[in-house]
């Protein structure tokens, strides 16, 4: 959905894109990624404050989430080269924040909920810093990772969908651990694609990194809530 490029790289993994162009894409991606966090926070706050997502349980929640997410990603794909691309992306991040609000509300029900959320945020930032550092020093072409990571993410999504109906805490923990690993690797892959010139559209690049960060944060928060949540 987010237009992962499969063009074969040149010997220096540069994809024929100049260094200045690559830096421009990375710079624009970082700015837009930072901006995209604001609608996410707003959506999460609105969802917690109004309880609008509390009724989205089980199959209904899954249908709304998948329908909304894939609908937005399709729209982003169609508008990424136009002036509408950024507003559509920001609308998507607001929707994702809204969908995240139910989990955040549950975590805030713990006496240490705010601490768990900050820990998950710090952990996600730490993962991003490590992956960004690795992407800048690894010289090897990582484009071959893409298909394996896609298969892993697909298997993960199927497992998560099944667990919505099974409701297993152990299954959720296993899925969360796997998601952290897969999307951390995806983060490295996506950052390396930008640095090597394999991704030249900053809206597509932002979408890819946003999804990586969102999934790592959500999975960390789920794990912390299951393992470290404290009741009064």
pLDDT in tens, 63-81: 888 899 999 999 999 999 9
Distance CA 154, CA 164 (A): 16
Q: What Cα–Cα distance (Å) separates residue 124 from each residue in 107, 127, 160, 186, 214?
A: 17, 5, 20, 13, 9
pTM of the model: 0.88
Q: What pLDDT does 15 receive?
A: 56
Return the pLDDT at 188: 95
Q: Is the pLDDT at 5 greater than 60, yes or no?
A: no
Q: CA 161, 167, 173, 174: dihedral to nearest 10 degrees?
A: -50
pLDDT in tens, 91-129: 999 999 999 998 999 899 888 889 999 999 999 999 999
What is the pLDDT, as a whole number, of residue 211?
Answer: 95
> Is it the case that residue 58 has pLDDT exceeding 70?
no
pLDDT tens digits for range 136-193: 898 888 888 888 999 999 999 899 888 878 878 888 899 999 999 999 999 999 999 9
Torsion of CA 212, 215, 217, 221, to 10 degrees: -170
As a whole number, mean pLDDT of residues 3-30 equals 64
> Could you tell me which of 76, 92, 103, 94 has the C-alpha nearest to residue 40?
94
End-to-end CA distance of the chain: 44
pLDDT reported for residue 201: 92
d(Cα 127, Cα 217) in Å, to the nearest integer? 10
CA distance 209 to 195: 13
Say if residues 62 and 99 touch (Cβ distance below 8 Å): no
Q: Which residues of 138-150 are buried (b: 16+ CB within 10 A; e: fewer)?
A: eeebbbebbeebe
pLDDT, tens digit (0-9, with 9 covering 90-100), for 219-232: 999 999 888 877 76
Q: Are 176 and 216 in contact (CB under 8 A)?
A: no
Q: Which of 9-13, 187-191, 196-200, 208-212 has the lowest mean pLDDT?
A: 9-13
């Amino acid at each position: 959905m987010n237009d992962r490029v499969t063009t074969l790289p040149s010997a220096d993994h540069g994809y024929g894109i100049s260094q200045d162009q690559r830096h421009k894409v990375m710079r624009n991606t970082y700015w837009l990624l930072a901006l995209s966090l604001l609608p996410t926070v707003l959506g999460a706050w609105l969802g917690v404050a109004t309880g609008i997502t509390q009724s989205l349980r089980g199959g209904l929640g899954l249908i709304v989430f998948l329908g909304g997410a894939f609908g937005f990603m399709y729209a982003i794909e169609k508008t990424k080269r136009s002036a509408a691309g950024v507003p559509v992306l920001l609308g998507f991040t607001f929707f994702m924040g809204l969908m995240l609000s139910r989990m955040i509300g549950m975590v805030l029900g713990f006496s240490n909920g705010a601490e768990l959320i900050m820990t998950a945020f710090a952990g996600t930032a730490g993962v991003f810093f490590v992956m960004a550092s690795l992407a800048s020093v690894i010289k090897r072409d990582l484009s071959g990772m893409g298909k394996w990571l896609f298969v892993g993410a697909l298997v993960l999504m199927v497992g998560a969908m099944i667990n919505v109906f099974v409701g297993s805490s152990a299954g959720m923990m296993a899925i969360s651990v796997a998601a952290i690993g897969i999307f951390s690797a995806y983060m490295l892959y996506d950052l390396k694609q930008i640095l090597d010139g394999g991704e030249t559209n900053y809206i597509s690049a932002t979408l890819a990194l946003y999804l990586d960060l969102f999934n790592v944060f959500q999975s960390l928060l789920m794990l912390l809530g299951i393992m470290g949540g404290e009741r009064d």
